[in-house]
Amino acid sequence: MAKYGRPQVELIVGGENHDVNRIRLTLLELLGENELLRVRCAPDFGDGTALADTDFLITYTNNVFPEGEALAALDAFLAGGGRWLAIHGAAAYTQFKPPAVNLGGIHLPGLTDTPDLKPAYMNLLGVRFVSHLAQQAYAITPGPVAHPVTEGIGPFEVVDEPYILELRGECDVLLEARFTGEAPGYVEGPWLTDDARPQLLRHRHGAGEAMYLAPGHACGKYDLRPFIDEIPVQPGPWASGTYVDLVRRLIAWGVEAAVPVG
């Protein structure tokens, strides 16, 4: 479908408490490996008009959501055949629930709550973030559904916040993991059942598709201000070559339907 003879990519990177500078740069570098792509960067969905000229949408966000006309534009984008890659916090709506807490020197206004207050958006994505365990190393393994994006990828390890997710509608789970434990700082938890937990899933909407990749945490030295002045840099799974290659594959999936033939 490629407008202007070149696939149009809308890259939305925004929110707080994550190293958005690092992730924006990394994603731009990966997108730059394909010289055919034309990429536009934005911190949010704006009024949604850019999606009318977009073939592939990538979002790395937290508490950044389309509203009104922008939400309708996202719906139309997917229904019309667009592809959407959402990473990590893009499935998360969070707010603090008082009273204040101190977690190892991080002073928060309250526990992190994840009420279901953005249902239309979560239904388009096919998933909603509920909680996460403490950041740790864990293994990601192939899921029950095979897909070209994950072909040949065996078990690999990442350091990340193990996400607890709620699926919305029919989803294909392409990668999964198993973990149990406490959820420090969150209202929801602990998570003590040894369930297979989705890490990469696909959700169809109309003629389009969304892929959601749960791992993707990264936090820079100053990204948790004002809750704490400095923290050790956390590159998360972006330090894993296998993970970065997976993102590279997901970018190829996102633009394949828009690449002109001949």
Q: What is the pLDDT of residues 131-177, one digit of tens each?
A: 999 999 999 999 999 999 999 999 999 999 999 999 999 999 999 99
**Which tokens go with 159?**
């350091």
- For the segment 82-89, the average pLDDT, to the nearest whole number, is 98
Q: Are 181 and 190 in contact (CB under 8 A)?
A: yes
* C-beta atoms surrounding 162 within 10 Å: 25
pTM beyond 0.95, yes or no: yes
pLDDT at 56 over 70: yes
- For the segment 239-259, the average pLDDT, to the nearest whole number, is 94
- For the segment 22-33, the average pLDDT, to the nearest whole number, is 98
Share of the chain above pLDDT 90, in %: 96
Write the CA distances from 220 to 138, 213, 235, integer angstroms. Answer: 21, 21, 8
pLDDT at 210 over 80: yes
47 pLDDT band, cuts 50/70/90, is very high
Residue 262 confidence (pLDDT)? 47
From CA 10, how far away is CA 185, in angstroms rounded? 33
pLDDT at 4 over 90: no
- Collect all residues with Cβ–Cβ distance below 8 Å to 28 and sequence separation of at least 6: 11, 39, 41
User: Under DSSP, is residue 143 helix (H, G, I), strand (E, B) or coil?
Assistant: coil
What fold, for 3-256? Answer: Rossmann fold (3.40.50)
Taking all residues of the chain, what is their mean pLDDT, rounded to a whole number? Answer: 96
- For the segment 112-118, the average pLDDT, to the nearest whole number, is 98
Q: Which helix (H) or strand (E) holds 17?
A: none
pLDDT at 124 over 80: yes
Residue 1 confidence (pLDDT)? 54
pLDDT at 3 over 80: no
- Collect all residues with Cβ–Cβ distance below 8 Å to 256 and sequence separation of at least 6: none
